[in-house]
Amino acid sequence: MATIPAGTLYRGRVGMWSWVLHRITGVGIFFFLLVHILDTALVRVSPEAYNVVIESYKTPIVGVAELGLVGAILFHGLNGLRVIAVDFWSKGTKFQALMFWAVMAITIVLVAAFTPVHLARVFGE
């Protein structure tokens, strides 16, 4: 008896979602890196030019966005280590889902610890 296929979404569970997140965070970090090299290059123009642009990093909106950037870097770096473990460690594939949750847990804990410290500076006087 023929059964109706249950949709075409690839059900790769956390293995798939970690891959999706790795791509999205990677692209985001890449474009930030382009901007960050250009803004740092302003030190070669003049102290005033650099200071004016770097002040925008201390504004409330960019300050909050930096938490997202730090979170993206943490996830991408830690998940990269997970990818290396899957590739080179004989038990990598067995523990890949557990390692994904460890990556998420460490990322959330470190962002949670950094958030009050950073926001106190961004919103303080």
Partner 1 sequence: MAVIIETPNSPRTKKQANWEKYGWLFMRVSGPLLIVLVFTHLISNLVVGEGIKAIDFAFVAGKWADPFWQVWDLAMLWLAMIHGTNGMRTIVNDYAEHETVRKSLITILWAVCGLLVLLGTLVIFTFDPCPAGAAVELLPSFCPVN
Considering beta carbons, is residue 58 or 94 the nearer one to partner 1? 58
Minimum CB separation of residue 122 from partner 1 in Å reads 7
Residue 89: CB atoms within 10 Å: 14
- 18 close to 81: Cβ distance less than 8 angstroms: no
- 58 close to 113: Cβ distance less than 8 angstroms: no
Binding segment for partner 1 among 1-9, 10-18, 82-90, 91-99 (CB under 8 A)?
82-90
- 56 contacts partner 1 (rule: CB under 8 A): no
d(CA 15, CA 38): 35
Contacts of 7 (CB under 8 A, 6+ apart): none
Near partner 1 by CB under 8 A: residue from 14, 64, 77, 115: 77
- 114 contacts partner 1 (rule: CB under 8 A): yes
Nearest to 25 by CA among 66, 75, 86, 99: 75
Binding segment for partner 1 among 6-14, 66-74, 91-99, 100-108 (CB under 8 A)?
66-74
Q: How far apart are the first and last CA of the chain?
A: 71
What is the binding site for partner 1 (CB under 8 A)? Answer: 23, 26-27, 29-30, 33-34, 37-38, 40-41, 43-44, 46-48, 50-51, 54, 57-58, 63, 66, 70, 73, 77, 80-81, 83-84, 87-88, 114, 117-118, 121-122, 124
